[in-house]
Structure 1
Amino acid sequence: MKKGIHPAGFRFVVFKDMSNGTSFLSRSTADTKETIKYEDGNEYPLVKLEISSTSHPFYTGQNVLVDTAGRIDKFKKRYEKKK
């Protein structure tokens, strides 16, 4: 690796997927104000994620069905009032 191009202040951080509650420990330079006690008993900074590989449909193999009919009805109702 080239020297001097990678950030220097990395530390262990717990990333928590808020959609399913899964958490994992990794190194990061991400700033955070919250901390959490991890499985090993130590306290680490916490970074909250909305989606990760444990909840993303591409990685889990579960497709999410989109209710297009419901979306169209909502759109028509919203703009029907403006006429």
Structure 2
Amino acid sequence: MKTAIHPEYHPVVFRDAATGTEFLTRSTATSENTVDWSDGNVYPLIVVDVTSDSHPFWTGAQRVMDTEGRVERFNRRYGRK
């Protein structure tokens, strides 16, 4: 791997804008906003719109597509050949 071409990889706190849930991970993203974490350190804070805590797929609020009804409607409209 070449040296001095990769961005700095450091701990960052991400906050879900919808739920307020925060989690500490590592990222190359930076921010001027900071947050005091429970371990006593100060980390950059990045606020994101959607995380697994608020995304409909992960929360179970996902819409279910009625694929059978769509196929039946297509067959009624255009007929089976």
Shorter chain as normaliser: what TM range? 0.5 to 0.7
Following TM superposition, by how much is the alpha carbon of 1:7 offset from its aligned partner in structure 2, in angstroms? 3.1
User: What is the aligned partner in structure 2 of residue 25 from structure 1?
Assistant: 24
User: What is the aligned partner in structure 2 of residue 43 from structure 1?
Assistant: 42
Gaps of 5+ in 2: 64-81
When normalised by structure 2's length, the TM-score is 0.66
Following TM superposition, by how much is the alpha carbon of 1:8 offset from its aligned partner in structure 2, in angstroms? 4.0
Superposed structure 1 runs of 4+ greater than 3 Å apart: none
Deviations 1:7-40 (A, max 9, x none): 3411000000010010000111112110001122
Equivalent residue runs for 1:59-70 within 5 Å: 59-63=58-62
Gaps of 5+ in 1: 65-83
Q: Which AA in structure 1 matches 2:8?
A: G
Contact 1:7/1:29, CA 8 A, preserved across alignment: no
Residue 51 of structure 2: SS of its match in structure 1?
coil
Q: Which AA in structure 2 matches 1:28?
A: S
When normalised by structure 1's length, the TM-score is 0.65
Higher Cα Rg, which structure: 2
Aligned residue pairs, count:
61
Q: Which AA in structure 2 matches 1:50?
A: D
Distance 2:39 2:59 in 1: 26
Q: Tell me how large the CA RMSD over aligned residues is.
A: 1.8
Following TM superposition, by how much is the alpha carbon of 1:59 offset from its aligned partner in structure 2, in angstroms? 0.7
